[in-house]
């Protein structure tokens, strides 16, 4: 008896109208391409998030932000004939300006662009002034809003521009025409070792009293700067990038580098 006879209606079975059919086919070429594209996108995202490309995008972003802010404040200072500076802590920085009314450095609070900046977690700052390392402390980011003491007892910005904007004498490491040769960090010629940022107020500007808002980096209205090297680093990955000036007003922005472990 053949198969049709065994599956005849008489025995309670029936055949489909079209007979037996094969199972459904596999994935189409389009479906496979979509899957491949999705896998590629996921892999690319994982590579970028793990930093496998060797680039530290967050470090580059902080470098570019700081460079842009320096350009902005220098243009602002030149336009307003105002002396500016940067006061650095270990994990952030803020901009200050010299107030000719109080003869003291004051934090920039009116321009939101120049507000205090804190670095993302994992990044910190290193600063060298006139070839000498500065021991940075985040307490340097705190400021006193009290008016300065009487004229003559507060520090003044360096250079000839200080004379045109208040008659203050220059002492920012020779950045201006009347600079006394004192280093931007306030070091005397025979001083050795790192300088604490808590001492910079009196030392860097050759003043008898400490100014809590005195900057370590000078950005004068005539375009001059003191000699500095400001490094943003990620110690965990040994990545760093440096902005530096030889003291002639030019600021060089470096690439992200990886130091030997």
Same domain, 90 and 217: yes
Q: Has residue 231 got a pLDDT over 70?
A: yes
From CA 19, how far away is CA 7, in angstroms rounded?
A: 12
Q: What is the pLDDT, as a whole number, of residue 142?
A: 86
Tens-digit pLDDT profile for residues 49-66:
445 446 789 999 999 999
Mean pLDDT of the chain: 73
Tell me which of 30-39, 84-93, 134-143, 159-168 is least confident: 159-168
Q: Is residue 16 part of a domain?
A: no
Q: Are residues 228 and 211 in the same domain?
A: yes
Domain that holds residue 84: 57-258
Contacts of 191 (CB under 8 A, 6+ apart): 132
Provide the 10 A C-beta neighbour count for residue 13.
Answer: 9
Distance between CA atoms of residues 179 and 37, nearest Å: 63
pLDDT on residue 30: 85
**144 band by pLDDT with thresholds 50, 70 and 90:** low
In a domain? residue 230: yes
pLDDT, residue 157, reads: 46
Indicate if 50 and 103 belong to the same structural domain: no
Residue 253 or 176, more confident: 253
33 lies in the same domain as 72: no
Which of 260, 31, 150, 87 is CA-nearest to residue 97?
87
Instruction: Give me the number of domains the chain comprises.
Output: 2
Specify if 13 maps to a domain.
Answer: no
One domain, residues 41 and 61: no
What is the pLDDT, as a whole number, of residue 29? 84
Is 92 a domain residue?
Answer: yes
**Residue 67 within any structural domain of the chain:** yes
166 lies in some domain = yes
User: 189 with 65, same domain?
Assistant: yes
Query: Is 34 in the same domain as 62?
Result: no
State whether 224 and 109 are in the same domain: yes
Binning pLDDT at 50, 70 and 90, where does residue 253 land? very high
**CATH number of domain containing 188:** 3.55.40.10
Asked if 188 and 213 sit in the same domain, the reply is yes
Task: Report the candidate in 235, 228, 232, 233 with the shortest Cα–Cα distance to residue 251.
Answer: 228
Q: Are residues 61 and 71 located together in one domain of the fold?
A: yes
Do residues 178 and 252 share a domain? yes
pLDDT of 260 > 90? The answer is no
One domain for residues 134 and 238:
yes
Residue 5 resides in a domain: no
């Amino acid at each position: 008896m053949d198969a049709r006879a065994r599956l005849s209606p008489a025995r309670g079975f029936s055949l489909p109208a079209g007979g037996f059919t094969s199972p459904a086919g596999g994935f189409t070429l389009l479906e496979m391409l979509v899957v491949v594209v999705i896998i590629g996108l996921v892999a690319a995202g994982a590579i970028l998030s793990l930093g496998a490309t060797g680039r530290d995008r967050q470090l580059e972003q902080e470098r570019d932000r700081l460079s842009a802010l320096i350009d902005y404040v220098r243009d602002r200072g030149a336009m307003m004939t105002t002396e500016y500076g940067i006061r650095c802590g270990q994990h952030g920085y803020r901009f200050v300006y010299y107030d000719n009314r109080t003869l003291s450095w004051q934090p920039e609070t009116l321009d939101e662009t120049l507000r205090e900046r804190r670095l993302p977690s994992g990044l910190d700052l290193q600063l060298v002034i006139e070839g000498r390392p500065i021991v940075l402390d985040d307490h340097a980011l705190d400021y006193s809003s009290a008016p300065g003491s009487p004229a003559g007892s507060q520090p003044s910005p360096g250079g000839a521009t200080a004379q045109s904007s208040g008659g203050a004498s220059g002492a920012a490491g020779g950045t201006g025409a009347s600079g006394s040769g004192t280093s931007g960090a306030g070091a005397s010629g025979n001083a050795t070792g790192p300088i604490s940022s808590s001492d910079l107020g009196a030392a860097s500007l050759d003043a008898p009293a400490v100014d809590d808002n005195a900057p370590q980096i000078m950005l004068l209205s005539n375009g001059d700067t003191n000699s500095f090297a400001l490094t943003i680093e990620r110690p965990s990955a040994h990545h760093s990038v440096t902005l530096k000036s030889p003291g002639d007003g030019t600021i060089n922005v470096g690439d992200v580098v990886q130091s030997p472990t």
